[in-house]
Structure formats: C-alpha cells, structure tokens
Amino acid sequence: MAKNITIFTTNTCAYCVMVKRWLAAKGHSYEEVNIDQNPERQAEALQLSGALTVPVTVVTRDDDSREVIVGFNLAKLAPAVA
C-alpha cells in the first residue's frame, strides 16, 4: 500500500494532468511539486528519476521502499500504488 505519493510537475505538462486525474479517480492523495513554481526542487526530480522530463511520480510504501515512475505509465503506476 502506498504511504506517500509525490508528483513532480510543470505548468504546461499534459501528462502531469493525466497522472493527477488518474490518481484522484482511484482515490489516492498525493503531494504535487510544481518545479516551475519551485525550481530549487528540479535537481531532486532529476536525481530521483535520472530524467529531465515530467511527470516524475515517487511512490513510497509502508516499508519505506520507493518506486519512481517517469511519464504517464499506467503499467508501472497502477501496481506501484496498489
């Protein structure tokens, strides 16, 4: 079970909106970090994902393990939050 979900987004990212809508439709709460509004957190997203793209969704589980999903990838996102 997901303990914490954080999504790194930007203002113009359509896939970010899709991830947020999907999570909301499934009843999951999340923290959004908009790197356009918080540019100091961009390095954190890059370090976690190894990618210069968004969305970066970080799912931390009850056992403190962490999964990082880049983009709108339901094949990885759905089992990560289950």
pLDDT at 2: 66
pLDDT at 1: 63
Integer Cα distance of 28 and 76 in angstroms: 15
- Domain span at 7: 2-81
Integer Cα distance of 44 and 22 in angstroms: 24
pLDDT, tens digit only, all 82 positions of the chain: 668 999 999 999 999 999 999 999 999 999 999 999 999 999 999 999 999 999 999 999 988 899 999 999 999 999 999 8
Output the six-digit token pair for 31.
Answer: 């923290």
What is the count of structural domains for the chain? 1
> pTM for this structure?
0.94
Integer Cα distance of 55 and 64 in angstroms: 21
CATH classification of the domain holding 46: 3.40.30.10
